[in-house]
């Protein structure tokens, strides 16, 4: 298992290299004068020239990449001119709220997705199964931004059960309850689609495993049906579901963009939307790079979890 | 062999695809929704709608049905109905365009990677890996950041983010096609690469491309609308569903309809597209369908007519196992058909019965019926009884049945590579069989499992205990299967072709093991096989099955020496015999009748050389020939004379 883990981690290195090239190129290929794009239309010729020299924009592309990469590896992601502070500081402040939101949403979707998928597979073709399947279909088709504004309006503004914004800082001294209270609506909104995807896949995987011969063997031994479902069917089904849970981690990290905007959550998604709006290119670059790196790490963890579940993988 | 043999043949013709699609009710609903929306979007210029861009500040934020347009007006006094139809037109067009672009680029990458392999494949797939290393929406955001906000840029960004899905799916499917003979032949014939790709490979992966597009278009429309909602897509005065929703959000408290109308339309459109996509996938690529065919219930359904389930009280005089007129049927599209008809036999402690027959003869279904392990649906026990010491197994509650399974009737299955749980250590699987019937602590069950591993003569018990099935050889896995079966000391051991998947040497050791266990434990044995020689070595009695019926039964040695049914006789003539290499082997012309096409009279009559008119006239009874022998034939005398 350790050898497998090391090999899997080593495989992530070229992917991270590729990610850095893509992030670099995306920003380097911005049409027009990048310094103008960074500084905005009202920049003076002097500041443009200074920035060009700062960024090494007068150098050929590969050299610029190496300069940029050296900066990245030493923790220098450049400077947001609009915010007048280092990109790394801003990203560091914003990543925490996003991680809390995304992990809450992912936990909800794994729990409810697995439960819905397992129970509806076991009760296949009953009214319950029909209702769950319909609900899951509705779930994957829900525009989370629409769901978000409806939830904010109804449960937040009209019923006043939950705050619809106002999360300024995570540890502002108002305690865990305040955090959770603010977290409910955004986390549920973000979890809807992911729950439905996990649920649909779990149901399909469970039905697939329940048809397999080894489940019949367990029943022939007289194993209790709860155990047949919970151990003999669920564990092999999880082997198929875990990679999709990894994909959902990517979905909630991306979908956080909508939810953070709707609920004014001070995370990295809202930061990116605002940065794109004012063409704060270096901030976008830094944010995307950090989140993508995080996602690569999540994918490695997912693969390791899958290997832990299925002994056939780590050969 | 049970489930696959009876699966309905799927007609694969493209003709009538639409009618088959519509026959799935959910897909039909999806088609209806999508059709309606597409029609509205296409016909928007012709529909009697107000000008969607005509602002009338005097009638701002009018609610629906207030006399100012059917669905009211927005914050600038524009007609919401007209705007949503035009917005739908924009969203559909952009979504379709993005899907086409992603499908084209992604499929091209997948095809080229599969076709050229090696370096091209490696380079393209690493590129796809890198794209997939970004959270989906973040990649799109990065692209929008580069190109600048705008509807077309948003569509390009969403298309790029979806390219990897198409590339991966198409590559996987194309790899199979590229390896086929006709592609190789086309290469030999000197056809150009482009021509081979377009004429030979593409048509074979096209259904997959269509399915992938159909299942992602809803998603792409949703995400493009999302970017517009964030203000990164459609810019005023251009409006799509997402930007309308974003505008409406500002007046949600006073005029919820301005946001709700585009929101509901987006939702319904995507529901429709997803229903349609699921339907198309089921139609074009049944392997990807979720939950098709269904999972079998915990026990085979018992649906006996009242007059065919005699109930009797338990008596000591009752035989250990008595099967009476067992009939098990399968529900096929053409109706319910009996796979096993009126099968009867009895066993005493220590007794042994072999059931022999070809694939599809019903021998496995008979064996599985005894503990209600036939997959159900489609299977059901529709007649007869199986009594264990006089108690009808088919009448037991599920919990009582579970107490019988493993503890009183245990099974050894055919293919140990699929019948063991692949993700559970085999020692735990054996211990589970010990512990399944209560009263055994976990530690004790594990200790017993170790003993059982030794008993079935597996080497290195400690290693085997913690090994997974894939780490064992076929013969070792089969011993694990045997250890699980004998774990709870069953009264009846049912072995369903346990040696078929093994090579000859392993088979011989396995048979020796069965013999040993039978003598040591005194369990009754039902041994299913297609191989007479295996049954000869193990069983006192044999029943020969053909087309779901027992056609001959008797002491094994006598049946082998002088069969009384022409089918048994011919089957024996087909088998090679050790020590008689020169013997001419026969084959029986034709094949057994399919489950839904069995004749009225003798099922073997169409293949029989000595058949007469009476054979096909009606059902033939299993007649008692004396001396414990039975045969279902009206010409037993001719067979006994060797004329068959």
Q: Tell me the torsion sign for CA atoms A69, A74, A75, A79.
A: negative
Are B475 and B512 contacting, i.e. CB atoms less than 8 angstroms apart? no
Q: Which two tokens stand for residue B461?
A: 């018990």
Shared domain for A139 and A164, answered yes or no, is yes
The pLDDT assigned to B166 comes to: 94
Mutate to test the interface with A, among B3, B84, B145, B376 (most CBs of A within 10 A): B145
How far apart are alpha carbons A148 and B259 in whole angstroms? 12
Which residues in chain A touch residue B421, judged by CB atoms under 8 angstroms apart?
Answer: 214, 217-218, 232, 236
Q: How far apart are CA B607 and CA B621, in angstroms?
A: 19
A34 with A134, same domain: the answer is no
Contact status of A98 with chain B (Cβ, < 8 Å): no
What are the tokens at B321? Answer: 């196992």
Q: Give me the interface pTM, i.e. the ipTM.
A: 0.87
Residue, of A30 and A250, whose pLDDT is higher: A250
**A175 min Cα distance to partner chain B (Å):** 30
The neighbouring-strand residues paired with B411 are: B494
Which of residues A69, A87, A105 is at a domain's end? A87
Residue where a domain terminates, one of A87, A122, A152: A87
Please give the residue that has the higher pLDDT: either B222 or A178: B222
Distance from CA of B181 to the nearest CA of A (A): 31
Same domain (yes/no): A268, A250: yes
At A227, list the tokens: 């155990």
Number of domains observed in the structure of chain A: 2
Of the residues A71, A87, A103, which one is the last residue of a structural domain?
A: A87
Residue B612 CB neighbour total at 10 angstroms: 12
Q: Mark whether A80 and A104 lie in a shared domain.
A: no
pLDDT tens profile A213-252: 999 999 999 999 999 999 999 999 999 999 899 989 999 9
Residue pairs spanning A and B at CB distance below 8 A: 249
Task: Tell whether A216 is within 8 A of chain B (Cβ).
Answer: yes
On whether both A107 and A244 belong to a single domain, the answer is: yes
Q: What is the mean pLDDT of chain A?
A: 87
The shortest C-alpha distance from A104 to chain B (Å) reads 17
The answer on A191 and A235 residing in a single domain is yes
* Chain position carrying tokens 């030493």: A74
CB contact under 8 A, A222 and B135: no
Same structural domain, A103 and A83:
no
Give the minimum alpha-carbon distance from A210 to chain B in angstroms, rounded to a whole number: 6
Contact B295 A309 (CB under 8 A): no
Cβ burial A283-306 (10 Å sphere, 16+ → b, else e): bbbbbbbbbbbbbbebbbebbbbb
pLDDT of res. B100: 96
Closest-approach residue (CA) in chain B for A209: B295
> Which pLDDT score is estimated for B420?
93
pLDDT in the model for residue B6 = 34
* pLDDT for res A172: 57
The residue ranges of DSSP E strands in B312-463, in sequence order, are 321-332, 335-347, 352-356, 379-388, 391-392, 409-412
Beta-bridge partners for B322: B346, B387
Query: Smallest Cα–Cα separation from B622: which of B552, B564, B559?
Result: B552
**Which residue range(s) make up the domain with A35?**
2-87
CATH code of A165's domain: 1.10.3720.10
In angstroms, the separation between the Cα of residue B367 and the nearest Cα of chain A is 12
Region of residue A272 (phi > 0: left; psi between -120 and 50: alpha; otherwise: beta): alpha
CB atoms within 10 A of CB A29: 11
Q: Are B340 and B327 in contact (CB under 8 A)?
A: yes
Residues A147 and A169 both lie in one domain: yes
CB B295 within 8 A of CB A124: yes
Say if residue A117 is in the same domain as residue A197.
yes
pLDDT attached to residue B164: 92
Report, as ranges of residue numbers, the positions in chain B whose pLDDT lies below 50: 1-15, 290-292, 308-309
What pLDDT shows up at residue B285? 67
From chain A residues 15-74, the ones with a CB under 8 A of any chain B CB are 15-16, 18-19, 21-23, 26-27, 29-31
pLDDT score at A174: 67
| Same domain membership, residue A77 and residue A171 | no
Report yes or no: A160 at the B interface, CB cutoff 8 Å. Answer: no
Q: Do you find a cis peptide bond into A288, omega within 30 degrees of 0? A: no
Q: Are residues A124 and A251 in the same domain?
A: yes
User: Are residues A50 and A8 located together in one domain of the fold?
Assistant: yes
pLDDT for the residue numbered A168 = 60
pTM of the shown model: 0.86
Tell which of A32, A192, A221, A226 to mutate to test the B interface (max B CBs under 10 Å): A221
pLDDT of residue A36: 67
Q: Nearest chain A Cα to B245, which residue?
A: A146
| A296 within 8 A of A284, measured Cβ to Cβ | no
List of E strands, B296-400: 301-302, 321-332, 335-347, 352-356, 379-388, 391-392
Kindly report the backbone phi and psi dihedral angles of residue A228, in degrees, each rounded to the nearest multiple of 5, phi listed first.
-60, -45
Q: What element of type H or E holds B13? A: none
- CA proximity to A94, closest of A270, A250, A315: A270
């Amino acid at each position: 298992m350790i050898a497998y883990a090391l090999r899997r981690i080593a495989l992530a290195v070229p992917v991270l290299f590729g990610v850095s090239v893509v992030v670099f190129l995306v920003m380097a290929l911005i049409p027009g004068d990048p310094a103008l794009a960074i500084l905005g239309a009202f920049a003076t010729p002097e500041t443009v020239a200074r920035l060009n020299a700062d960024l090494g924009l007068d150098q050929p592309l590969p050299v610029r990449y190496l300069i940029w990469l050296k900066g990245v590896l030493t923790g220098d992601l450049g400077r947001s001119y609009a915010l007048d502070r280092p990109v790394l500081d801003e990203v560091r402040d914003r990543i925490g709220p996003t991680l809390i939101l995304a992990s809450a949403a992912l936990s909800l979707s794994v729990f409810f997705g697995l439960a819905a998928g397992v129970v509806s597979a076991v009760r296949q073709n009953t009214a319950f199964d029909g209702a769950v399947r319909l609900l899951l279909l509705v779930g994957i088709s829900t525009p989370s931004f629409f769901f978000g504004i409806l939830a904010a309006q109804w449960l937040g503004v009209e019923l006043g059960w939950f705050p619809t914004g106002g999360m300024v800082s995570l540890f502002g001294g108002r305690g865990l309850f305040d955090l959770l209270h603010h977290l409910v609506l955004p986390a549920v909104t973000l979890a809807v689609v992911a729950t439905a995807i996990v649920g649909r896949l779990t149901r399909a995987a469970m039905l697939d495993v329940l048809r397999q011969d080894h489940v019949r063997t367990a029943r022939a031994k007289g194993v209790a049906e709860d155990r047949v479902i919970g151990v003999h069917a669920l564990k092999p089904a999880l082997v198929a579901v875990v990679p999709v849970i990894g994909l959902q981690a990517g979905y909630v990290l991306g979908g956080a963009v909508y939810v953070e905007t709707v609920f004014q959550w001070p995370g990295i998604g809202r930061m990116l939307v605002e940065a794109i709006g004012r063409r704060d290119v270096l901030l976008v670059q830094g944010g995307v790079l950090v989140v993508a790196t995080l996602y690569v790490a999540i994918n490695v963890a997912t693969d390791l979890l899958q290997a832990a579940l299925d002994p056939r993988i780590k050969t | 062999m049970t489930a696959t043999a009876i699966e309905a043949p799927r007609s694969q013709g493209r003709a009538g695809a639409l009618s088959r699609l519509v026959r799935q009710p959910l897909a039909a609903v999806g088609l209806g929704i999508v059709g309606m929306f597409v029609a509205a979007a296409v016909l928007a210029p012709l529909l009697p709608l107000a000008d969607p861009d005509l602002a009338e500040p005097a009638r701002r934020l009018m609610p629906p049905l207030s006399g100012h347009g059917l669905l009211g007006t927005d914050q600038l006094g524009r007609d919401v109905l007209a705007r949503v139809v035009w917005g739908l037109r924009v969203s559909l067009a952009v979504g379709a365009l993005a899907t086409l672009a992603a499908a084209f680029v992604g499929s091209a990458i997948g095809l080229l990677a599969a076709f050229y392999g090696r370096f091209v494949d490696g380079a393209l797939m690493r590129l796809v890996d890198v794209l997939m290393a970004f959270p989906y929406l973040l990649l799109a955001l990065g692209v929008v950041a580069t190109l600048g906000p705008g509807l077309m840029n948003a569509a390009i960004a969403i298309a790029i983010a979806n390219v990897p899905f198409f590339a991966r799916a198409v590559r996987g499917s194309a790899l199979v096609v590229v390896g086929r003979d006709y592609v190789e032949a086309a290469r030999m014939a000197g056809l150009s690469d482009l021509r081979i790709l377009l004429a030979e490979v593409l048509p074979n992966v096209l259904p997959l491309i269509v399915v992938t597009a159909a299942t992602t278009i809803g998603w792409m429309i949703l995400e493009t609308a999302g970017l517009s909602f964030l203000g990164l897509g459609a810019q005023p005065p251009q409006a799509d569903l997402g930007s309308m929703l974003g505008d409406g959000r500002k007046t949600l408290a006073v005029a919820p309809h301005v946001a709700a109308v585009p929101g509901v339309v987006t939702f319904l459109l995507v529901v429709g597209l997803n229903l349609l996509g699921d339907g198309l996938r089921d139609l074009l690529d049944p392997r990807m369908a979720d939950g098709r065919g269904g999972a079998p219930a915990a026990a085979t359904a018992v649906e006996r007519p009242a007059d065919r389930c005699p109930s009797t009280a338990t008596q000591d005089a009752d035989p250990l196992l008595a099967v009476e007129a067992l009939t098990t049927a399968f529900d096929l599209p053409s109706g319910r058909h009996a796979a096993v008809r009126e099968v009867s036999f009895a066993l005493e402690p220590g007794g042994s019965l072999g059931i022999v027959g070809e694939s599809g003869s019903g021998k496995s279904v008979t064996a599985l019926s005894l503990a209600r392990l036939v997959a159900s649906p489609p299977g059901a026990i529709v007649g007869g009884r199986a009594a264990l010491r006089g108690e009808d197994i088919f009448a037991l509650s599920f919990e009582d049945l579970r107490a019988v399974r493993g503890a009183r009737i245990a099974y050894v299955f055919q293919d140990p590579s699929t019948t063991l749980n692949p993700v559970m250590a085999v020692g735990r699987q054996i211990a589970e069989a010990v512990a399944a019937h209560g009263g055994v602590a976990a530690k004790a069950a594990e200790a017993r499992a170790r003993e059982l591993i030794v008993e079935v003569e597996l080497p290195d018990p400690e290693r085997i205990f913690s090994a997974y099935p894939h780490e064992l050889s076929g013969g070792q896995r089969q011993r694990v299967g045997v250890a699980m079966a004998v774990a709870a000391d069953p009264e009846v051991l049912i072995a369903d072709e346990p040696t078929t998947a093994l090579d000859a040497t392993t088979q011989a050791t396995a048979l020796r093991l069965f013999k040993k266990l039978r003598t040591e434990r005194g369990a009754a044995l039902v041994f299913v096989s297609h191989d007479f020689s295996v049954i000869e070595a193990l069983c006192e009695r044999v029943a020969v099955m053909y087309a779901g019926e027992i056609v001959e039964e008797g002491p094994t040695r006598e049946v082998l020496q002088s069969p009384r049914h022409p089918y048994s006789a011919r089957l024996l003539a087909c088998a090679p015999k050790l020590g008689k290499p020169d013997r001419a082997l026969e084959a029986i012309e034709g094949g057994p009748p399919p489950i839904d096409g069995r004749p009225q009279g003798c099922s073997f009559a169409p293949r029989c050389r000595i058949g007469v008119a009476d054979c096909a006239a009606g059902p033939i009874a299993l007649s008692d020939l004396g001396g414990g022998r039975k045969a279902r034939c009206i010409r037993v005398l001719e067979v006994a004379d060797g004329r068959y």
